Amino acid sequence: MAPVPCGFFDTRPKVSRDFVFGRDGEIEEIKRLLNNSFWPVILGPRRVGKTTVMRVVINELGGIYIDASTITGLKGLGLRLIDEVKRLNIKVKLNLAMLQLDIERRPMVTIEGLIRKLGDVVIGIDEIQNIISPKLPSLLSVAYNESRVRFIFSGSLVGTTRLIMKSPESLGRPLIRFELKPFTREQSIEFLRISSRNCGINISDIEIENAVNEFDGIVGWLTYYGSLRSSGKSHPEAMEALRSIAKEVIKDELSKLGRYELVTYRALATLSRARWIEIKRLAESLIGHSIDDKTFTTGLKALVNMYMVREVERGIYEVIDGYMARLVREYGV
């Protein structure tokens, strides 16, 4: 049975603050930055609610949201932007049908022209790291210098900021990195307690504690657990169902890693927290041969950049999503 959405436990990204728990401060701060002409870049691990925070901000400011997870270049970005302008019925003194044809021939120039005419509009681009184009920084520079459009970005890569800034001194765009973190243990408990009460679901304190211990503050896992409970599943049934779902999700995410990134993550998932040399030795044992220092360090830094791993002290690393690491460790996902 598919989970039944219930307010806070709706697994889809939310657009109303009414069903967002514990992020009022972040939402207000991002709105303040935008209102002061800064361009926030929301960064953080997967499943901590970056898309939800962005969509709530855009909804409250009457802006345009673009999901770039399936966009690979400027042409795709331009077509999606035109579609959203039409869907939202934003008044612009341009022939949008002609712009759609122009995008095929001159994507950069066409998008620049549209942005200049949009007026004071907020545009949110989610997962912007997927738009691979050397012209993207120049396009954003034109938007900053020659239009009233304000941008908000999100991504799961630290390198997202480098991608869109590239040359901050010459482009002059005031980008602000804004890191969204997992819930604390106390926030996780309150989230499940308040949300279950609002949804009319009876989840005991012991079950809440057990779920919080398992999901390590990752909002997405907590939300999916609550959604499964709201569909009528008992605590053991919801935990088992989520385990099956999560294994498939994690398997897909790991399949996108490079060979050395994958073995390094598996090593650290086994160790949970360890020094550089300890992770390297276990990674070499798992892969069956030695790994030179530079190659290993590059793979480890890539995992840090993807917010899968963090450096807690100099030379000491740990996984960010403990539930993901546990499934990798226990089931060999």
| pLDDT tens digit sequence for 299-328 | 999 999 899 999 999 999 999 999 999 999
Task: Tell me, yes or no, whether 42 lies in a domain.
Answer: yes
Q: What is the pLDDT of residues 272-299, one digit of tens each?
A: 999 999 999 999 999 999 999 999 999 9
Please tell me whether residues 35 and 141 are part of one structural domain: yes
Which of 101-110, 138-147, 169-178, 249-258 is least confident?
169-178
Q: Is residue 228 a contact partner of residue 9, using CB atoms and an 8 Å limit?
A: no
Domain boundary among 129, 153, 179: 179
Confidence of residue 3 (pLDDT cuts 50, 70, 90): very low
Please tell me whether residues 55 and 195 are part of one structural domain: no
Task: Tell me, yes or no, whether 2 lies in a domain.
Answer: no
Residue 102 has pLDDT above 60, yes or no: yes
Please tell me whether residues 36 and 128 are part of one structural domain: yes
Please tell me whether residues 53 and 145 are part of one structural domain: yes
Please tell me whether residues 120 and 41 are part of one structural domain: yes
Task: Tell me, yes or no, whether 1 lies in a domain.
Answer: no
The CATH number covering residue 285 comes to: 1.10.10.10
The CATH number covering residue 227 comes to: 1.10.8.60
Please tell me whether residues 47 and 172 are part of one structural domain: yes
Task: Tell me, yes or no, whether 60 lies in a domain.
Answer: yes
Residue 251 has pLDDT above 80, yes or no: yes
Distances in whole angstroms, Cα of residue 333 to Cα of each of 236, 240, 324, 329:
21, 15, 9, 8
pTM (predicted TM-score): 0.91
Confidence of residue 170 (pLDDT cuts 50, 70, 90): very low
Please tell me whether residues 270 and 248 are part of one structural domain: no
Please tell me whether residues 149 and 12 are part of one structural domain: yes
Residue 182 has pLDDT above 70, yes or no: yes
Please tell me whether residues 57 and 162 are part of one structural domain: yes
Range of the domain at 276: 257-331
Confidence of residue 135 (pLDDT cuts 50, 70, 90): confident
> How many separate domains does the chain show?
3
Please tell me whether residues 119 and 205 are part of one structural domain: no
Domain boundary among 134, 163, 179: 179
Confidence of residue 14 (pLDDT cuts 50, 70, 90): very high
Please tell me whether residues 133 and 246 are part of one structural domain: no
Domain boundary among 118, 146, 179: 179
- Work out the percent of the chain whose per-residue pLDDT is above 90: 80
Nearest alpha carbon to residue 107 among 88, 84, 80: 80
Task: Tell me, yes or no, whether 3 lies in a domain.
Answer: no
Task: Tell me, yes or no, whether 22 lies in a domain.
Answer: yes
Bridge partners for 124 per DSSP: 65, 152
Summarize the confidence of residues 236-255 as an average pLDDT. 96
Task: Tell me, yes or no, whether 237 lies in a domain.
Answer: yes
Task: Tell me, yes or no, whether 67 lies in a domain.
Answer: yes
- 126's tokens: 């989610």
Summarize the confidence of residues 21-38 as an average pLDDT. 95
Summarize the confidence of residues 104-125 as an average pLDDT. 94
Please tell me whether residues 145 and 262 are part of one structural domain: no
